[in-house]
Each structure stands twice: as structure tokens, then as C-alpha cells.
């Protein structure tokens, strides 16, 4: 598991509240080094990705036998392959408003689920259950969306609330078990993922969730009255994702419970000594994290007006962990990481279609970016940066946390 990379509270006692971590990280002097390291990690990943693109290009590979005799042929072919691939990646993700809209819609559930993972990180919890929380969320939202006949607007709100509550309930189970029994959230959330998938498959086998006259495990699409609606060909769930990021920022940085979450995430024992209800914080953190993942699930059905199926969630819940890590468990960082991963996902398809580059290389780029972000010492060594003590962020504790 990841380590805690936050400064511990200075003091704790019956009369002293622990100083929350990352309190000093609001100033640009402290978070600027972390930003530089992250940008450097992305650049290094793109350079290595360019090397992989070149070596996967048939024309470039053909020049390898006589590389040292005529190196210009190799570099020319490699440059053409990298330029065409990366140009297609950029054009496919942000080359037109239609592409930007697709990228935003692809990023929105990643951002919401990533916020859920980030918030749990800040409370000292490792939420691996976003996938299951999403599944319960879109199962409830979709059922309300295609079963009931309600006026437009009201139908959307009811379905949205149902999806959020479904995810919150599923996340709250893990939080309650952690708070009351000490069960490790990594184990419980993984098991709840399997349970959520089983419930999803069971529900899709019932007539109430199947299309009329069909035995396939696929529900009817939600009614038009339950969809988010759109502005400039972009569904309004994108705005909800950004609003959720602002809400999480306010919760963590401006509210009392956010103070407690950050303090408990840094040192639960000191927080308990200071009079904080650690069990309540653990439970509430997982409830809110589950609600955010449930919100991500609603975007899969209410935003795209899709049918519920076993593969609807894809790997978004697990990708959210990567997004949260890349975003340093901060709301702004999670939004930017979600947008980056959404762009890579959309652009990867265009890269394959336009340049013939395997779309799996987009996933390799994501993995390389996360690899270098997770190894700041390596990035500082490669870029000859000096280590700094700023920019710390509360992350989930290890198995003993």
C-alpha cells in the first residue's frame, strides 16, 4: 500500500486539537515543487512513450538493421511515427469542440470516482471499492430512470439522488465495518466489489431489469425525462463533476468535519486523544466517497442514456485510484488528472484509427505517468531537481493503519 506522506500533528492532548496536515500546502511556495515534479513525470513518460511508438512502427523497425550505416532513415521514420501518433492523440481528444465534448464526458465519471478515492485517502483510508459503488449507483439510477414515469427534471433529480444514495450506502458498509470492527477497508471494499457485480448480474437476470421480449442481460435505456440534458452537445453531468470537486475542496479545507478527516488521516490516535470521534470520521468519509462514486455511476446511464449491462462501468472505478494518486489526493489535482486520462482514452482511439498506432499505447502512457509520479525521487534524479519538503498530501496508510 502507499505510505503516509504527510507531516504528523505537532501535538495532541485533551486541550489541544491536532494540527491538520497539508495546512501549509495552500500556498504556492509549497505546492509548486510538487507541480514541477508532476509535469516532469508527464514529460518523461511522453518521451518514453515516443520511444515505444517508434519501435512499434513497421517502417521504423525496417531501418534498424542498417541503423549505424544510415541513421538518418531511422530518425526520420521514428519522427514521422511519433509525430503522426501524438498529433492524432491531440487532435482526437481536443482537436474540435465535438472531440473536447467527448473528452469531457469521458473524464466526468473519472473525476467523480477519483474524488471519492481522494477523499478517503485524506481520511487515511484506501478505498478500492469505487467500482462496486459505481455499479450500485448506476443500477439504482438506471432502474428509476427506465421504470418510473415522472416529469422531466424531477425524474432526473430522483434518479440522480437514487444513484448517489446507492453508492453512499455501499461505501458506508465498508466505513461502518472499519469503524466498528476494525476490518481493513482494502479487504472489505474488494469483497464488496465482487458482491456488487454479483447483485448486478442477478438483477439483470430478472424480468424487471430486462428489455421486453429479450433474455439478454441488458436493461432498457433510461427515459428521456431522466437524462441530464445537454448544453453545446455536452451533458450536464460534466458540470456536476466540477461542482463535486468544488464541494470536496470546501468540505476538506473549510468545514469542521474536513478538519477532522485530515487530522484523523494524519494520526488517528492523536485525533482520538484530542476528543475526535474517529469511528464517525471513518464512516462518514466512506459514505461521502461512495456517494461520489455513485455520482460517477449515474453519468454512465443518465448522461449517455445507456442501458445497464455488466460491462457498463468498464474499469472506471479502478482507474479512479490511478487518477487520485496522480492528482496527489487533492480536488484540483484529481480534476486535472481525470481530464488527462479522459483525453488519453479518447485520443488513444483516434491514434489507432488515424495513425495505426495500437491504442494500448495510450494505456501504457497512463501507466508510465503514474509510475513516475509515484517515484518522485527518480524524477528528481533524472531532472536534477533538489528534494523539497513542501507539497505533502495525506495518503492512505499501509496495512497497519
Residue 184 to residues 1, 174, 198, 218, 378, Cα–Cα distance (Å): 12, 8, 22, 34, 31
**Domain total in the chain:** 1
Q: What is the pLDDT of residues 121-156, one digit of tens each?
A: 999 999 999 999 999 999 999 999 999 999 999 999
- Return d(Cα 327, Cα 17) in angstroms, integer: 28
Q: What is the pLDDT of residues 150-200, one digit of tens each?
A: 999 999 999 999 999 999 999 999 999 999 999 999 999 999 999 999 999
Is 82 among the domain residues?
Answer: no
Does position 82 have pLDDT exceeding 60, yes or no? yes
Does position 9 have pLDDT exceeding 50, yes or no? no
Residue 396: band (very low, low, confident or very high) from pLDDT cuts 50, 70, 90: low
Tell the burial category of 315 from Cβ atoms under 10 Å away from its Cβ (0-12, 13-18, 19+): exposed
Task: Report which DSSP code applies to 230.
Answer: E
Q: What is the pLDDT averaged over residues 353-382?
A: 78
What does R_g of the chain's alpha carbons equal in angstroms? 23
Domain holding 204, by residue range, is 23-35+98-360
Residue 212: band (very low, low, confident or very high) from pLDDT cuts 50, 70, 90: confident
Dihedral of alpha carbons 175, 179, 180, 182, sign = positive
Which residues lie below 8 Å from residue 69, measured CB to CB, with a gap of 6+? none
The rounded percent of the chain whose pLDDT value lies above 90 is 50
Q: Are 141 and 171 in contact (CB under 8 A)?
A: no
Q: Are 23 and 278 in contact (CB under 8 A)?
A: no
What per-residue confidence (pLDDT) applies to 390? 47
Is 43 among the domain residues?
Answer: no
Q: Which three cell numbers stand for residue 274?
A: 484530542
Q: Are 74 and 59 in contact (CB under 8 A)?
A: no
Is 219 among the domain residues?
Answer: yes
Stated pTM of the model: 0.85
- With cell 444513484, the residue in question is 163
Nearest to 391 by CA among 17, 2, 32: 32
- Return d(Cα 1, Cα 398) in angstroms, integer: 5
Q: What is the pLDDT of residues 90-111, one digit of tens each?
A: 898 898 899 999 999 999 999 9
Is 255 among the domain residues?
Answer: yes
Q: Which three cell numbers stand for residue 292?
A: 461520489
Which residues lie below 8 Å from residue 235, measured CB to CB, with a gap of 6+? 105, 227, 228, 229, 299, 302, 303, 304
What per-residue confidence (pLDDT) applies to 10? 44
Q: Which three cell numbers stand for residue 358?
A: 495500437
Is 258 among the domain residues?
Answer: yes
Give 202 or 35, the one with higher predicted confidence: 202
Q: Which residues pair with 235 in a beta bridge?
A: 230
The rounded percent of the chain whose pLDDT value lies above 70 is 88
Is 109 among the domain residues?
Answer: yes
What per-residue confidence (pLDDT) applies to 375? 76
- Return d(Cα 120, Cα 190) in angstroms, integer: 15
Q: Are 340 and 46 in contact (CB under 8 A)?
A: no
Residue 397: band (very low, low, confident or very high) from pLDDT cuts 50, 70, 90: low
Q: What is the pLDDT of residues 226-279, one digit of tens each?
A: 999 888 888 999 999 999 999 999 999 999 999 999 999 999 999 999 999 999
Is 393 among the domain residues?
Answer: no
Does position 222 have pLDDT exceeding 50, yes or no? yes
Residue 15: band (very low, low, confident or very high) from pLDDT cuts 50, 70, 90: very low
Does position 46 have pLDDT exceeding 60, yes or no? yes
Q: What is the mean pLDDT of the chain?
A: 85
- Return d(Cα 40, Cα 304) in angstroms, integer: 35
Is 110 among the domain residues?
Answer: yes
Residue 283: band (very low, low, confident or very high) from pLDDT cuts 50, 70, 90: very high
Nearest to 200 by CA among 110, 134, 148: 134
Looking at residue 261, which CATH number applies to its domain? 1.10.3470
Residue 388: band (very low, low, confident or very high) from pLDDT cuts 50, 70, 90: low
- Return d(Cα 40, Cα 32) in angstroms, integer: 12
- Return d(Cα 25, Cα 41) in angstroms, integer: 20
Q: What is the pLDDT of residues 322-340, one digit of tens each?
A: 899 888 889 999 999 999 9
Q: Which helix (H) or strand (E) holds 234?
A: strand 234-235
Amino acid at each position: 500500500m502507499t505510505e503516509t506522506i504527510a507531516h504528523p500533528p505537532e501535538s495532541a492532548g485533551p486541550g489541544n486539537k491536532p494540527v491538520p496536515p497539508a495546512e501549509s500546502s495552500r500556498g504556492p511556495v509549497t505546492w509548486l515543487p510538487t507541480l514541477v515534479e508532476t509535469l516532469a513525470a508527464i514529460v518523461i513518460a511522453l518521451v518514453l512513450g515516443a520511444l515505444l511508438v517508434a519501435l512499434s512502427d513497421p517502417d521504423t523497425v525496417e531501418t534498424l538493421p542498417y541503423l549505424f550505416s544510415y541513421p538518418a532513415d531511422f530518425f526520420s521514420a521514428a519522427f514521422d511515427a511519433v509525430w503522426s501518433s501524438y498529433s492524432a492523440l491531440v487532435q482526437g481528444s481536443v482537436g474540435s469542440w465535438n472531440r473536447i465534448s467527448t473528452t469531457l464526458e469521458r473524464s466526468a465519471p473519472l473525476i467523480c470516482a477519483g474524488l471519492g478515492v481522494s477523499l478517503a485517502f485524506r481520511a487515511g483510508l484506501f478505498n478500492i471499492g469505487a467500482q462496486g459503488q459505481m455499479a450500485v449507483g448506476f443500477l439504482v439510477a438506471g432502474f428509476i430512470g427506465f421504470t418510473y414515469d415522472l416529469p422531466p427534471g424531477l425524474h432526473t433529480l430522483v434518479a440522480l439522488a437514487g444513484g448517489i444514495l446507492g453508492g453512499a450506502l455501499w461505501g458506508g458498509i465498508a466505513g461502518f465495518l472499519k469503524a466498528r470492527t476494525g476490518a481493513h477497508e482494502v479487504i472489505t471494499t474488494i469483497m464488496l466489489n465482487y458482491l456488487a457485480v454479483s447483485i448486478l448480474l442477478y438483477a439483470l437476470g430478472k424480468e424487471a431489469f430486462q428489455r421486453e421480449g429479450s433474455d439478454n442481460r441488458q436493461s432498457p435505456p433510461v427515459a428521456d425525462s431522466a437524462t441530464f440534458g445537454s448544453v453545446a452537445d455536452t451533458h450536464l453531468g460534466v458540470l456536476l463533476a466540477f461542482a463535486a470537486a468544488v464541494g470536496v475542496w470546501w468540505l476538506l479545507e473549510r468545514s469542521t468535519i474536513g478538519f477532522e478527516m485530515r487530522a484523523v488521516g494524519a494520526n488517528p490516535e492523536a485525533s482520538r486523544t484530542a476528543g475526535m470521534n474517529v469511528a464517525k470520521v471513518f464512516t462518514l468519509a466512506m459514505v461521502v466517497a461512495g456517494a461520489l462514486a455513485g455520482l460517477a455511476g449515474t453519468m454512465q446511464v443518465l448522461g449517455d442514456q445507456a442501458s445497464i449491462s455488466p460491462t457498463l462501468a468498464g474499469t472506471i472505478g479502478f482507474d479512479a485510484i490511478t487518477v487520485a494518486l496522480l492528482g496527489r489526493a487533492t480536488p484540483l489535482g484529481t480534476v486535472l488528472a481525470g481530464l488527462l486520462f479522459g483525453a488519453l482514452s479518447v485520443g488513444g482511439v483516434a491514434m489507432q484509427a488515424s495513425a495505426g498506432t495500437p491504442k494500448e499505447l495510450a494505456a501504457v502512457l497512463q501507466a508510465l505517468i503514474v509510475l513516475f509520479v509515484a517515484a518522485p525521487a527518480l524524477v528528481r534524479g533524472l531532472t536534477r531537481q533538489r528534494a523539497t519538503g513542501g507539497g505533502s498530501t495525506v495518503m492512505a496508510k499501509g496495512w497497519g493503519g
